Amino acid sequence: MPERTQRILYIEDNEEMIDLVKVILETKGYQVAGALGGAEGWRAIQELLPDLVLLDLMMPDVDGWEVYQNIRDHDASKHIPVVVITAKAQQIDRVLAENVAGVQGYLPKPFKNIELVEIVQKIFAENE
């Protein structure tokens, strides 16, 4: 019996970034959905219950940290791993995200395609 395709939701306010990430990850066999902004992203999480959320932090409607808190506060979604993809590339931002907030990964923009693929593969390997 074939394994179920792993579903990824990318929450980002830039449609071109969503399209880029979709192309990169779909060529590796993942099913990728995109949501424009935090409010749409939170609705998509509740509807899709993806296996992984890729989350931008700086969005104009609902910021990524608020979405992250919603994910962690709800029983249906609190188990979903989250990788932050952000232009906030300061070391302190990474430390806060990984050690204080507890995100499973942190990828500063701009990133190389292989960096994205490797972090996604690592998250799924750790959660098998």
Cross-strand bridge partners of residue 31: 7
2 within a domain of the structure (yes/no): no
Predicted confidence (pLDDT) per residue in 70-105, tens digit: 999 999 999 999 999 988 767 767 777 776 678 898
Q: Is residue 26 part of a domain?
A: yes
Where does residue 27 rank: exposed (0-12), middle (13-18), buried (19+ CB within 10 A)? Answer: exposed
- In-domain check, residue 72: yes
- pTM (2 decimals)? 0.92
| 108 occurs within a structural domain | yes
- With respect to residue 1, please indicate whether it lies within any of the assigned structural domains: no
Taking Cα atoms as reference points, which of 58, 13, 69 lies closest to residue 37? 13
| Higher local confidence (pLDDT), 102 or 122 | 122
Q: Report the alpha-carbon distance of residue 122 to residue 127 in Å, rounded.
A: 9
Q: Looking at residue 89, what is its pLDDT?
A: 66
Average pLDDT, the chain: 91
User: Amino acid letter at 61?
Assistant: D
Q: How many CB atoms lie within 10 A of CB 58?
A: 12
On whether residue 94 sits in a domain, the answer given is yes
Query: Percentage of residues in the chain with pLDDT exceeding 90?
Result: 75
Share of the chain above pLDDT 70, in %: 95
Number of domains in the chain: 1
Residue 112 has pLDDT above 80, yes or no: yes
d(CA 55, CA 125): 19
Please answer whether residues 105 and 99 qualify as being in contact, where contact means their C-beta atoms are separated by less than 8 angstroms: no
Q: What is the CATH number of the domain that holds 65?
A: 3.40.50.2300
Range of the domain at 18: 7-126
pLDDT tens digits along 17-39:
999 999 999 999 999 999 999 99
